[in-house]
Amino acid sequence: MDISTFVQQMINGISLGSMYALIAIGYTLVYGVLRLINFAHGDIMMVGAFVAYLAQNAGIPFELAVILAIIAAMVTGILTDKIAYKPLRNAPKISLLITAIGISFFLENLFNVLFGGVPRAFSAPDYLTKIIHYDGIIVPVTVIIIPVVTLILLFIILWILNKTKYGMAIRSLAFDIPTVKLMGINADIIIMLVFAIGSALAAIGGIFYAVSYPSIDPLMGVIVGLKAFAAAVLGGIGSVAGAVIGGFILGFTEIVVVAFMPDLGGYKDAFAFIFLILVLLFKPTGIMGQDLDRSRF
């Protein structure tokens, strides 16, 4: 194992970890506010990637297609909340989880019917797919761009959460929804904002995913979504910084194991869940989390 391969794999790990982190933030925000595992989140990522693909096919330049994809994902996320989750705010949690599964399955199969299950090639502009050769390290530009964009987005999210009025409202919703309503805050608008932020990040994550593994299909969100959720739990669900840390740990592990232990390559998709089970066994609150289960009592 020479040093350049090692560095190259580290860069790949950071890049994969950033994608998981972007998607995990959406899970952690929604879970923090509604205590709901938004099963449809991975599929919202898929919607984002598909809209970017379709827009590019229609001749729209990549940059504009990305913006359209983000808007489409935000609309999907907000509509999901309005149609499927909002009427059930006071229902037993099991009903919410079932509708979440329903939405997830609906999106997957709708796209399957409309566009077919065959993977489609995703094209990106040259400046993203260019390959850098530097001292024996060979990486595509995307691998560098993804972590940078992720960090910028992370700072924006943390700024919104910690420095703005809306962020304060989101954080207070995580403690107690009825009290927040008594304070004169429109909880529905804030929840909508949470879904919008989460879905926008998912769309960006989805486009990154589509650019790095240049193909998309209607089921692409399932496994990535599950892994991102595992990352969010690993980092401590409810904590944005935790989601990012969890995403990076998961991304690194996958790359390292596949690169250095090729025999285990076939089991790559299983690591996330093994992590998840270990975290639940030894530290259910994750790395950064607090005990959300009990904080409402």
Partner 1 sequence: MKIIKLLMLSVAILFLIFAQNNLDPYTVSILNNIAIFGILALSYNLINGVAGQFSLEPNGFVAIGAYVTALLILPASSKIDMFALEDPAPIILAMHTSFLPALLMSGIVAAVLAFILSIPVFRVRGDYLAIVTLGFGFIIRIFAMNQTKYTNGAMGLNDIPDNANLLWTGGIIIVTFIVMLNVIYSKYGRAMKAVRDDEDAATAMGINTFWIKTYAFMTSAFFEGVGGGLMASLLTTISPDQFTFLLTFQLLIIIVLGGLGSMSGTLIGAVLVMGGTEWLRFLDQNMDIFGYNTGAHPGLRMVVFSILLIIMMLFARRGIFGNKELTDMFKRGKK
List contacts with partner 1 (CB under 8 A).
35-37, 39, 83-84, 87-88, 91-95, 97-99, 101-103, 105-106, 109-110, 112-113, 117, 222-223, 226, 229-230, 233, 266-267, 269-270, 272-274, 276-278, 280-281, 284, 293, 297
Amino acid at 243: A
Q: Which is nearer to partner 1, 185 or 275 (CB)?
A: 275
Q: Cβ 191 to partner 1, closest distance in Å? A: 17
Q: Which is nearer to partner 1, 77 or 147 (CB)?
A: 77
Q: Which two three-digit tokens encode residue 154?
A: 């992370």
Q: Cβ 125 to partner 1, closest distance in Å? A: 32
Q: Cβ 168 to partner 1, closest distance in Å? A: 26
First-last CA distance in the chain: 53
Q: Which is nearer to partner 1, 106 or 166 (CB)?
A: 106
Q: Which is nearer to partner 1, 97 or 160 (CB)?
A: 97
Residues near 52 by beta carbon (within 8 Å), at least 6 away in sequence = 62, 65, 66, 68, 69, 122, 203, 206, 207, 210
Q: Cβ 274 to partner 1, closest distance in Å? A: 8
Residue 197: count of CB within 10 angstroms of its CB: 23
Main-chain phi, psi angles of 216, to 5 degrees: -135, 150
* Residue 215 β-bridge partners: 121
Three-class DSSP category at 216 = strand
* Residue 170 β-bridge partners: none
Q: Which is nearer to partner 1, 10 or 222 (CB)?
A: 222
Q: Which two three-digit tokens encode residue 163?
A: 């420095």
Distance, CA of 251 to CA of 272 (rounded, Å): 9
Distance, CA of 257 to CA of 268 (rounded, Å): 8
Q: Which is nearer to partner 1, 58 or 282 (CB)?
A: 282
Q: Cβ 83 to partner 1, closest distance in Å? A: 8
Surface-to-core class of residue 160, CB atoms within 10 Å of its CB (0-12 exposed, 13-18 middle, 19+ buried): middle
Q: Cβ 105 to partner 1, closest distance in Å? A: 4
Q: Which is nearer to partner 1, 155 or 267 (CB)?
A: 267
Main-chain phi, psi angles of 140, to 5 degrees: -70, 155
Q: Which is nearer to partner 1, 84 or 207 (CB)?
A: 84
Q: Cβ 134 to partner 1, closest distance in Å? A: 35
Q: Cβ 185 to partner 1, closest distance in Å? A: 25
Q: Where are the beta strands (DSSP E) in 157-217?
A: 215-216
Distance, CA of 61 to CA of 158 (rounded, Å): 30
Amino acid at 107: L
Q: Which two three-digit tokens encode residue 171?
A: 């954080």
